[in-house]
Structure 1
């Protein structure tokens, strides 16, 4: 099995990078949609449009990209010789990926609140939350590239 993972390493790494980009795009865009929805969603037609956009983004792009990111990421973790578990970087990256996954699920709960007409958060709150994936991305990239 490990020889197979070593053989597939370039493909696994390439696919992992592609699906991470797709996931990050969604993590950046969905909170921005929530900003507009919270600020302009009192108009029924706009609210319905935002709800369709949010649902499709989450279900068609973000969920599959998150799952694929985890699958290819775990394949990389189990590829022999790639991860030095005595270093700090795999732990900081792992913690940031877990936080990003939590944020993804938080966004999913916020989408449901909008769909049920129960959103209690302001556009300003969503603007601030829109910075979370950026901070996590910085931690992940520095962890993997610098490997401290």
Structure 2
């Protein structure tokens, strides 16, 4: 059974879209976990074995899940935008702005983890708990933009 070019391209598009959604889930899950890890890290005694375990957990979360997922979200998302030729769509502009903001938040959280690992504790546990809401709010807005396409 042969497949025409249109059907093949549609299948490729669906696989790209599926992969994009999967890595968005991984990235957002990691962004939910990281500030929570930092709260527990800050509550551990400086220099303790427990603190060293939190530093290692944070490192693994960043290097195994967060960083690769963010890169794949960008690569797959931009590929979909080019494939769909959505560059003139207002919803895409706002979505990209929100994803750029999430990427900045990601970078801030990575930097915060490095400060924690060096013994600094610049934010309170309460502030970290509030920061933990950022990915959730961004996710709600992005999903509405992509599904509803309000403009």
TM-score with structure 1 setting the length: 0.90
| 2:42 counterpart of 1:38 | yes
State the match for 2:3 in structure 1: none
Aligned length: 144
Distance 1:6 1:52, change over 3 A: same
Unmatched 5+ stretches in structure 1: none
Deviation track 1:94-130 (CA, whole Å, cap 9, x = no partner) reads 1110000001100100110011112211111100000
Native 8 Å contact 2:41 2:51 kept in 1: yes
Native 8 Å contact 1:113 1:119 kept in 2: yes
Q: Which of 69, 73, 76 is matched with 1:72 structurally?
A: 76
Distance 2:114 2:98 in 1: 24
| 2:37 counterpart of 1:25 | no
Where does structure 1 differ by over 4 angstroms across 4 or more consecutive aligned residues?
Answer: 3-7
Unmatched 5+ stretches in structure 2: 1-5
How far off is 1:133 after superposition? 0.4
Native 8 Å contact 1:58 1:108 kept in 2: yes
> RMSD of aligned C-alpha atoms?
1.7
State the match for 1:140 in structure 2: 142
> SS of the residue aligned with 1:118?
coil
TM-score with structure 2 setting the length: 0.89
How far off is 1:6 after superposition? 5.2
Distance 1:78 1:98 in 2: 17
Q: Which of 38, 50, 54 is matched with 1:50 structurally?
A: 54
Distance 1:137 1:80, change over 3 A: closer
From the CA coordinates, give the structure whose radius of gyration is larger: 2
